[in-house]
Amino acid sequence: MKITDIELGMLRVPLKTPFKTALRTVESVDDIVVLVRTDSGHTGYGEAPATAVITGDTHGSIIEAINNFIKPRLIGEDIANLNRICGLVQSSLERNTSAKAAVEIAIYDLWAQLHGAPLYQMLGGGDPVITTDITISVDYIDKMVADSLSAIERGFESLKIKVGKDIGLDIERVKAIHAAVEGRALLRLDANQGWTAKQAVYAMNALENAGVVLELLEQPVKAADIDGMKYVTERVNTPVMADESVFGPHQVFDLIHQRAADIINIKLMKTGGISNAIKVADIASLYGIPCMIGCMLESSISVAAAVHLAVAKSGAITKVDLDGPSLSLFNPVNGGVIFNESEISITDAPGLGITEVRGLEMLKA
């Protein structure tokens, strides 16, 4: 099974409601889809969102990176040589992690298809059913409370609450949601780099002293402020999770050695794909640091890859934040992973199990 071509398409899927964080407001999934073709007639699927405020990647940079740097190195390569191909992808250019991730996902999809097995089995196996949380976008207090209650009614038992816009209002938002859900769901707080270290400690002390119990606090300070992360981690009782501060294996080592966070959030679009995500999970596991698996605003193509990884690495990945498909108005994928609100399950189809992506606008090379 050799690579004969790599094609790109644009996928647009409206969200059920605008996705609002301290960094941005988004109304639809607008992602680049990668189709890796082979001489055997098999196709591997991958996907990359343009998340310029986090990864620095735009639609234009993703297209340029794949067409002019990654694709020329992969044509003619044998899918059986997985490690070699991943090495070619990672060394093709610096950064551009979303473009690399999209191509790697498609390659892993094909590699598992080559062996006639679901990807998670090729990665080590596991229980093919997991449960995700759902995001509650930052908004007016009444709207956030209503969204939280609606999510619980839909069966979600973990809520990821977006804050980071206004420290005083953020505290009131969380208190109101905590009071409204009455212990029916775990609450995860995500500041998306919206606070300073001192603000984070102030907010968390106020919440903890008010009896608000949170499962974790995600990325309270700027990505590069590791000293700030450490400052917060040392001064609050709630476990602190690093997201934007950790892209790959080297940053994991630094964060762990400085004891700057209690949990690591793995996202394929940060690590540049599955190969480095596995390394991050393994490193964290060696040090006894739990991981979450997360996603950007992605459809069920690349989220499916994260699901397979989460199942295979369940010993290291203990928390799941793969709600992109649940936030979308519809699922554009035929086949693949089954997303049913909070429950996500994998079929026994080879690879990612994707047979078609509907509504794809193919892009000229």
Tell me which residues are annotated as active site: 162, 267
CA distances from 92 to 31, 40, 82, 326 (A): 21, 25, 15, 34
What is the side-by-side order of every strand in the sheet holding 240-242? 134-136, 158-162, 186-190, 216-218, 240-242, 263-267, 291-294, 317-321
SS (H, E, C) 118-171: EHHHHCCCCCCEEECCEEECCCCHHHHHHHHHHHHHCCCCEEEEECCCCHHHHH
Nearest to 340, CA basis, from 352, 357, 353, 323: 323
Calpha distance 93→99 (Å, rounded) = 10
Structure tokens at 12: 């647009």
Structure tokens at 56: 């620095």
Calpha distance 51→48 (Å, rounded) = 9
User: End-to-end distance of the chain based on CA atoms, in angstroms?
Assistant: 23
Structure tokens at 147: 């969204």
- Decide: helix, strand or coil at residue 344: strand
Helix (H) or strand (E) holding 246: none
Calpha distance 272→285 (Å, rounded) = 20
**C-alpha torsion sign, points 309, 314, 320, 323:** positive
Q: What are the backbone angles phi and psi of residue 27, rounded to the nearest 5°?
A: -115, -10
CA distances from 28 to 2, 25, 142, 172, 327 (A): 35, 10, 23, 28, 9
In the chain, % helix, strand, coil (3-state, to 5) comes to: 40, 25, 35
Radius of gyration of the chain (CA): 20
